Amino acid sequence: MYDMTLSRWKNRLPFGLFAMSMIIAALIRLWAAPLSAGPDVAQFWAFAKVFQHHGLDFYQYADASLDIFPFYGWAFVYPPIWLLILGLTLLFVPSSSATSVMVDTGWRIAMKTPIIAADLAIGCLLYWAVPGSRWRKLLFSSIWLLHPTAWYESAVFGQFDAIAAALLLASVVMLTRGADRWAFLLAALAMMTKQHTFMSIAMMAIISARYLSKRRLLTNSLIAGGVVVLLSIPFLFTGNFHAYAKSLFLPGAAPVYQYPLCFALSGSGALLTYLHNAFGWETGALLPFTVPVFAIALATTRQGSPASRSTPGYMKCVL
């Protein structure tokens, strides 16, 4: 009887520790949320206010030329899902305000709450999806939940990348489990949250083409395309074609050294910045080539042998 009880507790211990990690991760994020805010938090308050005032015409004003924007000419504009989240967030703090030097506490907490929720969702997805023992699941999920960089970017600085990352990770998990239609739907939602996820989605589509039939791949692509169209149509009814396309397909991206490194947009960019800092090498001229090099790498991707590409199990090995 004692051995059975001990064995039961050993089996439950990893999940108990995971639950503890979740609670700690939530508490340290909620504690930090009102303390500080990066420039994104202030600018996104203006996004929410402009969306509230101008509705579906928002993208006509997305160039940040209005006086309400804390940072004039801000070029970083994102797809409708993030805009809708910002609009919903503003409903909870309608009297909030923000400038380039001040963001009130209410908006800090309100805007960071969905980001923190996405952070926790990523932890849950990792615990659920990582193969192997519960201890292995605990390790990978805890690394994310308790990692200082993940904590800083969402709870302190206020970057919303975790929302797109949660959708993207859910898409990959669905793909590895053979639910490819759900995977493409979630991938489209990720891209319509932050368009920079396109590179990862392109990799997923390239790999999928190696084990899905052409008909199945076409169906999945139509599902993803349908999501993009349905979310875009309301913003196009008022004639925002050029402004909408510019905001989505030409987002702000400055190919310069990435400071601080914890905000590096790519591993190659981080490496080139580090070499510049550590050795004084002038590597800045190489930064604009990181994107086309990555695009070429995507186009020439080769994974596995033809015999191994017939089932979703291949995807599980690759991803």
Q: What is the pLDDT of residues 10-35, one digit of tens each?
A: 677 888 999 999 999 999 999 999 99
**End-to-end Cα separation, the chain, in angstroms:** 42
DSSP collapsed to 3 states, 103-161: ECHHHHHHHHHHHHHHHHHHHHHHHHHCCCCHHHHHHHHHHHHHCHHHHHHHHHHCCCH
Calculate the CA dihedral of residues 39, 41, 47, 53 and round it to 10 degrees: -120
Place of tokens 């790519």: 266
Sequence-distant (≥ 6) Cβ neighbours of residue 195 within 8 angstroms: 78, 79, 248, 249, 251
Integer Rg of the chain from CA: 22
> Does 146 share its domain with 17?
yes
> Does 41 share its domain with 153?
yes
- Return the pLDDT at 27: 96
- Return the pLDDT at 270: 79
* DSSP symbols for 162-194: HHHHHHHHHHHHHHHTT-HHHHHHHHHHHHTT-
- Return the pLDDT at 5: 60
Cis previous bond, 251, omega within 30: no
- Alpha-carbon distance of 316 to 312, in angstroms, equals 7
By C-alpha distance, which of 245, 240, 254 is closest to 290?
A: 254
How many separate domains does the chain show?
A: 2
- Return the pLDDT at 206: 83
Which of the listed residues 127, 157, 187 is the one where a domain comes to its end? 157
Residue ranges of the chain with per-residue pLDDT less than 50: 303-319
> Does 10 share its domain with 142?
yes
- Return the pLDDT at 119: 95
For residue 126, being part of any structural domain is answered with: yes
- Return the pLDDT at 146: 94
> Does 29 share its domain with 145?
yes
For residue 222, being part of any structural domain is answered with: no
For residue 236, being part of any structural domain is answered with: no
For residue 176, being part of any structural domain is answered with: no
For residue 255, being part of any structural domain is answered with: no
Which of the listed residues 157, 184, 207 is the one where a domain comes to its end? 157
In terms of residue numbers, what domain contains 38?
A: 1-157
- Could you tell me the CA-to-CA distances from 97 to 68, 90, 107, 304, 316 in Å, in that order? 10, 10, 7, 54, 46
By C-alpha distance, which of 110, 40, 105, 33 is closest to 69?
A: 40
Which of the listed residues 133, 157, 181 is the one where a domain comes to its end? 157
User: E-assigned strands of 175-258?
Assistant: none
For residue 98, being part of any structural domain is answered with: yes
> Does 27 share its domain with 145?
yes
- Return the pLDDT at 262: 60
In the numeric block, which tokens belong to residue 179?
């639910």
Cβ atoms of 195 and 79 closer than 8 Å: yes
Query: Which residues are paired to 103 by β-bridges?
Result: 98
> Does 9 share its domain with 148?
yes
For residue 29, being part of any structural domain is answered with: yes
- What are the pLDDT digits (tens) for 220-268? 999 999 999 999 999 988 888 888 888 887 766 556 666 666 656 667 7
For residue 120, being part of any structural domain is answered with: yes
